[in-house]
A and B are shown apart, each in its own frame.
Chain A
Amino acid sequence: MMKCREVSLLLSAAQDRPLSLLESASLRLHLMMCKNCTHFARQLKIIRLGAKKIAKDLNDHGTDQPEK
C-alpha cells in the first residue's frame, strides 16, 4: 500500500509523463480511500490551470486584430 508521500510524488509525475499500469492502479486505489491526497490531486489541477491562464492572457490581452 502506497503512503501519501509517495502518492504526492506520483501525482506530480502524472502531470508530466504517462504512468505505468501498476502506478495508476495503485494511485486510484489510494485515492479512493484518502481524502487528503484527493484534495492534493485537485490542487495540482488548479495550479496547472493557473499557469495556463498566464499563457492564455498573453494571447488574449491587447490584441490588435481578432484571433483566428
Chain B
Amino acid sequence: MIAAELEVHRPALLRYALFQLGELSLAEDVVQETLLAAIEKPDSYRGQASLKTWLVAILKYKILDVHRRRYRDPQLISPQIDEEHDTSDFDSLFDTQGHWGSDAPRNWGQPEAQLEDQHFWRVYEVCATKMPRRTAMVFAMREVMELEISDICQQLEITATNCSVLLYRARMSLRLCLEQRWFNGKTP
C-alpha cells in the first residue's frame, strides 16, 4: 500500500468526518489515524472491496469510537438546555393551543428541486454545525451513518426516549436555521 494511493481519498474522508465531529482538528486527527491504520495494516485489506470502501469502514469505526468517548465529555454538555430530556425551548414556536405560531413551517418546494442546488447543501452543512454538539452527534449517527435507534442507544448509553428528544431537537434546529438562512424570502 503506498501513501499516494491513500492520499487521494483524504478530502472526501475529511469532509465526512467534519460533518460527523463538527471540529476540524478532531476530524483531521481521525482521518490521519485512518490513513495510518491503512498503511500499518495493509494485510487487512483483502482487495475484495474498493480501497475507498475499506478506508470508509475504518473511518466510521474510529468516528463511532470518538462519539462514544465525547458523548460523556462534561465540556460538551450544554449548560442552558437539557438536550436529552427537554424540548421546551421550542415552546415559543407554538401558540397556547399547541398550533404553529408566527414562525409556522413554510413551503420549501419539492425535495427534487433542492437536491440540485449546491448552495442549499452548503447552507445545510453550516446549519448542522449550529446544533448543540451532542444533538449533532446523534443526528449524524442516525441520518448520515444510518444507525438504528437501538444501536445509537447502546453506543451512547442513553434511552430510546433520550434519543427521540435529541433527534427532534436536531430536526427542529436544522429546519429553523434553513428557513432563516435559505428559504427566507425565497417562497411567498
Find chain A residues with CB under 8 A from B175 CB. Answer: 40, 43-44, 47
Are A43 and B144 in contact, with the CB atoms below 8 A?
A: no
Are A64 and B50 in contact, with the CB atoms below 8 A?
A: yes
Query: What 1/0 flags go to B20-59 for Cβ under 8 Å of A?
Result: 0000000000000000000000000000001111001000
**Cα distance A36–B13 in the bound complex, in angstroms:** 38
Tell me the interface secondary structure of chain A in the complex: helix
Task: Name the interface residues of A3-61: CB closer than 8 Å to any CB of B.
Answer: 3-6, 8-9, 12-13, 15-17, 36-37, 39-40, 42-55, 57-59, 61
Are A64 and B9 in contact, with the CB atoms below 8 A?
A: yes
Question: Of all chain B residues, which has the CB nearest A65?
Answer: B50
**Cα distance A57–B64 in the bound complex, in angstroms:** 19
Find chain A residues with CB under 8 A from B97 CB. Answer: 3
CB of B175 to closest CB in A, whole Å: 5
Partner of A49, one of B51, B52, B115, B142: B115
Are A16 and B9 in contact, with the CB atoms below 8 A?
A: no
What would be 26 A-B contacts, judged by CB atoms less than 8 Å apart?
A: A4-B98, A13-B168, A16-B142, A16-B149, A16-B164, A17-B149, A36-B99, A36-B104, A36-B105, A39-B105, A39-B107, A40-B105, A42-B111, A44-B175, A46-B108, A49-B115, A50-B121, A52-B144, A54-B125, A54-B144, A55-B146, A58-B16, A61-B11, A61-B12, A63-B50, A64-B5
Task: Please give the residue numbers on chain A whose beta carbons come within 8 Å of chain B beta carbons, in ascending order.
Answer: 3-6, 8-9, 12-13, 15-17, 36-37, 39-40, 42-55, 57-59, 61-65, 67-68
